[in-house]
Structure 1
Amino acid sequence: MNDKELRARLVERLTDSGHLRTEPWRAAVSAVPRHEFLRGGFFQQVEGCTPTAWAPVMPDDARWLEGCYDDASLVTQIAGTIVPGDIRGEIMRVPTSSSTMPGLVVRMLEDLRVDEGHRVLEIGTGTGYSTALMCHRLGADLVTSVEVDENVSARARTALGQCGFAPNLIVDDGLAGHKDEAPYDRVIATCGLLTVPQKLIEQTRPGGIILVTLCGWLYSSELTRLTVHYDGTASGRFLGGQISFMLARPQLPPQLGLLPDLDTGDERQTAFGADVIDDWNTRFVAQLAAPRAQRVTLTRDGRTESLFLDVDTGAWAVLWENRGQWMVRQSGPSRIWDAIEEHITRWRAAGAPPLERFEITVTSDQPSITWPGG
């Protein structure tokens, strides 16, 4: 199949899945060639390899063109600097940039509720594919996109130019927005955020919409649509779907460093164990209680333990199962598991409402998130 046939097939798939819902975005996906934004190749996960290994797929590979039009996220950078053309063979490092799956891209663009004449700020240019879709829909002069990585931005600029688009591309920390083109009617972030930065609210006109994915270091996240109000606050709800993005680089968790002495601290039985947060919604509630905690699985003294650690404050909790009963030991300036246990218990007592019923209010950098009956 050629690229036009592959685009037509992609449009059909995204329409059938319910992600592509309106004609203007359908026209954009039909017109914008995704493969132009992947000319540098992409990384494909190597099956059956632990830890995860990645192998490059370049344009001269027979799998490349069709792969560009799969409804899949395609890794385009690893370890902050390594691109597919740098590798011969395999690499076992952490992905740091990708081309988001088209189904999620168009779902978010539909949820952004843009209209003719709207000025849009995009946080995270990436390959530039989503930027191109917005340029097609609104006109490039109404699109500003901010990317923290200069090399990533440069590659996106080249691809956008090849497609005839010249939006306002900025190399900077997107969490600060870009006040020169403000106010914006719409703001969209294509990376996970721990908070909704106040500067993004300040740069959005009253009545405007901010669409972000709120995340945490326990890695449960939700797509959030907020409306900005005249008093400088914003409020809204989660949209559901268990959306996941790479975190914005300035908000990545700190290195764990030297672990605390886990044999000290206060010990007790706990109502439920660490396995409770294997559930996505429960983990999100736990994350609200301990937004700066990271989870690490350890093997000590022949048993598996789950450590929850806040590196900045030094607070920690370690859990393990003993003859069918979960135990916790905690120390530091706060009791991480006490807070998690209280949040989950209160949420369950309210009937464990789904995340789509949670309400978000932003009056400062840290959002207030509540649920019905909570």
Structure 2
Amino acid sequence: MTEPDLAKVAYELRHELAEHLVGEGWLRSPEWRAAVEDVPRHEFVPRFYVASDTPGATTYVPITPELVGDEAWLRQAYANETLLTQFDGREIDWSGPQPISDANPTSSSTLPSLVVRMLEALEVDDGMTVTEYGTGTGYSTALMCRRLGADRVTSVETDPGVAARAAAALERCGHRPRLVVGNGLDGAGLHKPADRTIATMGVRNIPEAWVRETQPTGIILATLRGWMRSLGLVRLVVDDEQTATGRFIAGEPHFMIARQQDAPQSLGMVPGLEDGTTRTTPHGPELLRIYDSGFVAQLAMPNARFFTMQADDGPVNTYVLDSTNDSFAVLSPDGDGWTVRQGGPVPLWDEVERSLALWHTAGAPGPSEFGVSVTAGSQRVWLGTPSGPSWSLPIV
């Protein structure tokens, strides 16, 4: 049996991927389709991990040509999946890779459907310049180089090792964009603002530098998120006063949060049994896990996180903790309903209930009915119109 021509297989897989993305409605313009068909994704993911479908705790399994064979590795490299390349900010020992559990992914090649969806939403034209925050493997960087020319692309990566591998892969593919290693939240050090800014990591707010380094009428595309969940992809237009306004785009991209804005290791102080005041509540903790209501809860409690824990010989309680000010809410089952015990300077569950009431009054719309306004020293998410109900984003 003859060995497959891997270059031919990769060529066919790129075209199959493009056809799939077109069929699903993500890939619409001929220019971006040409980029997907031309850029060899496998050059940017020579080895990677994917999530296993084994029940139980999330486990990631390694995929390399040596482990699964060249053709199987190639086919996985062109799957519409996120391919993980780093965990917990540490280098992977590829001399004998093993399955990984209880780890936090910190770098990846994002699933292509989300990549092209974001690139299409940038609405670039020939001659425009783009700044990317979160180089990662460099695959999306290469797509932009193919579309616009490498001299019009700047990409910023915080991790030196990740940046070096991306630079080498881009070089192999003939692309030499301006690559910056550093904290992207501080900007890219541009001498002239870019026409477009795109971020492939989640941020708790829009960095002032991104607004400053984007041309008036330019677009910023980024994922806002909190410590509980992603809020979603937001598309902002910058104006002459270095402010920006826009709306969320439907869907919930799960980008890793910028390392400089990650949550503290400690969840906060677990309250004592007698701490706080108790009352009934019509809302149980399930609302925190549902997309739309969870979106609203994240807005109401921007610094909170939650977990469940069983009391001694008692029910399973849900603890909502704000580690920045020691506010807390403890949700406990009470017959067919719930009670909440809360304390600290901010009544967390009161804030959730107030926000849910505003949301339900508006007809419980999805995130695409929410928008974002960014001004100097203030950032807020609003419902319906900029003059509607609003929630402040944390200024980090």
Q: Same fold (TM over 0.5)?
A: yes
Q: Secondary structure at the match of 2:14?
A: helix
* Paired letter, 2:84: V
> 2:58 matched to which residue of 1?
52
- Counterpart CA distance in 1 for 2:327 and 2:364 is 27
Q: Secondary structure at the match of 2:358?
A: helix
> 2:38 matched to which residue of 1?
31
**1:242 matches 2:248:** no
Which residue of 358, 369, 392 corresponds with 1:346? 358
Q: After superposition, where does 1:87-166 map in structure 2 within 5 Å?
A: 87-92=96-101, 93-166=103-176
Tell me the alpha carbon deviations over residues 211-241 of structure 1, each in whole angstroms, 9 at most, x when there is no partner: 0011111213211000001111100001111
Q: After superposition, where does 1:1-374 map in structure 2 within 5 Å?
A: 2-39=9-46, 41-60=47-66, 61-62=68-69, 63-83=72-92, 85=94, 87-92=96-101, 93-256=103-266, 259-263=269-273, 264-301=275-312, 302-364=314-376, 366-372=378-384, 374=389
- Counterpart CA distance in 2 for 1:365 and 1:189 is 21
Task: State whether residues 223 and 230 of structure 2, in contact with CA within 8 Å, keep that contact through their aligned partners in structure 1.
Answer: no
* Paired letter, 1:272: H
Task: State whether residues 268 and 326 of structure 2, in contact with CA within 8 Å, keep that contact through their aligned partners in structure 1.
Answer: no
What is the percent sequence identity of the aligned residues? 44
- Counterpart CA distance in 2 for 1:36 and 1:84 is 19
Q: Report the Cα offset of residue 352 of structure 1.
A: 1.0
Q: Report the Cα offset of residue 210 of structure 1.
A: 0.2
Q: Secondary structure at the match of 1:18?
A: coil
Q: Report the Cα offset of residue 260 of structure 1.
A: 2.5
Q: Report the Cα offset of residue 177 of structure 1.
A: 1.2
* Paired letter, 1:70: A
Q: Report the Cα offset of residue 296 of structure 1.
A: 1.3
Structure 1, unaligned stretches of length 5 or more? none
Q: 1:17 to 1:216 in 2, by over 3 A?
A: same
Structure 2, unaligned stretches of length 5 or more? 1-7, 390-396
- Counterpart CA distance in 2 for 1:49 and 1:157 is 37
- Counterpart CA distance in 2 for 1:199 and 1:316 is 33
* Paired letter, 1:368: R
- Counterpart CA distance in 2 for 1:245 and 1:365 is 25
Q: Report the Cα offset of residue 262 of structure 1.
A: 3.7
Q: Report the Cα offset of residue 251 of structure 1.
A: 0.9
- Counterpart CA distance in 1 for 2:28 and 2:287 is 36
- Counterpart CA distance in 1 for 2:327 and 2:356 is 19
Task: State whether residues 187 and 210 of structure 1, in contact with CA within 8 Å, keep that contact through their aligned partners in structure 2.
Answer: yes
- Counterpart CA distance in 2 for 1:258 and 1:189 is 29
Task: State whether residues 227 and 302 of structure 2, in contact with CA within 8 Å, keep that contact through their aligned partners in structure 1.
Answer: yes
Q: Secondary structure at the match of 1:367?
A: strand
Q: Report the Cα offset of residue 99 of structure 1.
A: 0.5
* Paired letter, 2:293: T
- Counterpart CA distance in 1 for 2:65 and 2:377 is 43
- Counterpart CA distance in 2 for 1:319 and 1:169 is 48
- Counterpart CA distance in 1 for 2:139 and 2:227 is 27
Which 10-residue stretch deviates more, 178-187 or 120-129? Answer: 178-187
